[in-house]
Chain A
Amino acid sequence: MKFLGFLLLLAGWGIVLTAIVLLAADAPRVAFVLAGIGVEILGLVLVIRAHPAPRGEHE
């Protein structure tokens, strides 16, 4: 899950870069940049969930 999360982070960034290069009009460019950030947030959630709460380490 951690690997997938980081992959989504990179994929989201890729969508942002692609939007800048390929889309000239303002509205679609903004929409795709925000979509890329949405994918990044999804990746971040997966990465966070892949680092579970530690238990039973109290001395």
Chain B
Amino acid sequence: MTPASGPILSETAAALCLMFIFLVPFAGAGLALINTGLGRARSAAHLMMSSLCAVSIAAVVFFVWGFTWQGFQGGPAHILNLGGKGWDWVGAQPLFLRHVALDGSPASLAALLGMMSVGLAALIPLGGGADRWRLSATCLSTALLAGITYPIFAHWVWGGGWLAQLGENYGLGRGFVDAGGSGTIQVVGGLTALSIAWILGPRRGKYTHDGMPTAIPGHNSSFVVLGCMLAMVGWWGLNSAGAVLFTGAGPGEAVLVAINTTLCAAASALMAAVITGVRFGKPDVSLTANGWIGGLAASSAACVFVRPPEAAAIGMVAGALVTLSVEWFELRMSVDDPGGAISAHAMGGLWGVLAVGVIARVPPVGVNATGEAPGQWLAQVIGIATLIGFVLPLTYGLNWLLNRLRPQRVALEGERQGMDLHELGAGAYPEFMTHGDDFSPR
């Protein structure tokens, strides 16, 4: 029932890790601003309110139930014996964080980082469902994400679960490695955003009679760029805390992590700016911002296992991938994703997870271990197969059931009027009439 022992942190490492975790909410603030800026003016207050509610619900559900299933490495868990190997499937912590010494121990730091991370994951689907996702449905969907989808996958990766054990059990590198949550946070959130976008359908007016998409530009690009800057601060903390807590990196390696994170985001944003500049004649702000976030999402998994030039290369690929996939989702798949959440978080995150296997040099576990662990790429591919083959059906199924019980999309009248007036009774900009049809009396 109790797997191998967990990490041991010095007091300095624990204190620095705590400081890094305190930075993570900046990433949440950044994502909230980006989602709001890329949405319509008449839904701005609603999106910010939804962000606050999603973070709140995620924290409470994770405290009550989520950490029970996520657990931590070395903590109690349900283990199945398959083929003579112990497969750690799900955590078995008591409810309400009981029996976790909240004193700077690795378990308590994992619980705090989990609480912040699940809030971040819960903000990602808001970008995919912007301008049409009801507030109450957002809260219920977030509860499912924080109570079921996120904790299960987080346990497999960060809680000593079967994906993390692939190295120990089957000689596949160091097992699935995801230092800062490219898969655990970004892809899980991004796939939930895809599910939500599919279930809700596109915004009215997004597609013409012949199925061609129309441009519905974001209402405030200043919010979007400010959000990008704030997100970077949060990602420094997220990647550094994850590296220390889940990969055994020393606190001093946070410098490398921060440099890699910055370079990855910068290279990704520049690549997106160049691609859009070449294709459309002028660089596009929203796609460049999506490139920035995609670079951050891609940076997380390998942040402590690559040198700066390799981090920049990961970012360049992420920037190209995100820019092209935004167009692909909108044109080819008819998925209306106002915030670009699916491309930036799911596609960027998947590339980040894969990059650990194809670019990074992950050393084997052990004090004196040197060189590179063989089979790492296969462990990463198995992680990707799990995200697509298990997490996507799970999150889609849960949200589909929720939609059957209580429709998640706002009524037609609400979409015309704007989410702010319809659901909150007041707009974000009551003294401004930014568009002719905003805040129109009904």
Contact = CB atoms under 8 A, between A and B. Distances in A.
Contacts of A53: 207, 211, 334
Contact of B205 (A10, A29, A59): A59
A54 B83 contact: no
Contacts of A46: none
A54 B396 CA distance: 19
B369 interface: no
A55 B334 CA distance: 10
B206 interface: yes
Contacts of B397: 6
Given A6-B396, A20-B166, A54-B207, A13 B389 contact: yes
A58 B211 contact: no
Interface centre among A9, A22, A36, A52 (most CB of B within 10 A): A9
B385 A57 contact: no
A48 interface: yes
A30 interface: yes
Chain A contact-residue range equals: 20 to 34
A20 B83 CA distance: 10
Contact of A57 (B205, B381, B388, B390): B205
A25 B434 CA distance: 64
A44 B388 CA distance: 8
Chain A contact residues: helix, strand, loop or mixed? helix
Interface in B1-38: none
B420 to A, nearest CB: 19
B422 to A, nearest CB: 16
A33 B396 contact: no
B181 interface: no
A44 B350 CA distance: 15
A3 B72 CA distance: 34
Interface string B202-241: 1011111111001000000000000000000000000000
B206 A10 contact: no
B166 A51 contact: no
Nearest to A54: B207
Given A21-B83, A54-B334, A33 B378 contact: yes
Contact of A55 (B85, B198, B209): B209
Nearest to B386: A13
Contacts of B388: 9, 12-13, 37, 40, 44
Contact of A56 (B85, B209, B375): B209
B393 A9 contact: yes
A9 B392 contact: yes
A51 B333 contact: yes
Interface string B396-419: 110000000000000000000000
Contacts of A59: 204-205
Contacts of B335: 51
B201 interface: yes
A10 B204 contact: no
Interface string A25-46: 0100110011011001001100
Interface in B148-171: 166, 170
B385 A40 contact: yes
Contacts of A44: 388
Interface of A: 6, 9-10, 12-14, 16, 20-22, 26, 29-30, 33-34, 36-37, 40, 43-44, 48, 51-59
7 contacts: A9-B388, A9-B392, A10-B393, A12-B388, A13-B389, A16-B385, A59-B205
Closest 9 CB pairs of A and B: A13-B389, A53-B334, A53-B211, A21-B83, A59-B205, A58-B208, A6-B393, A16-B385, A40-B389
Interface of B: 82-83, 85, 166, 170, 198, 201-202, 204-211, 214, 333-335, 375, 378, 381-382, 384-386, 388-390, 392-393, 396-397
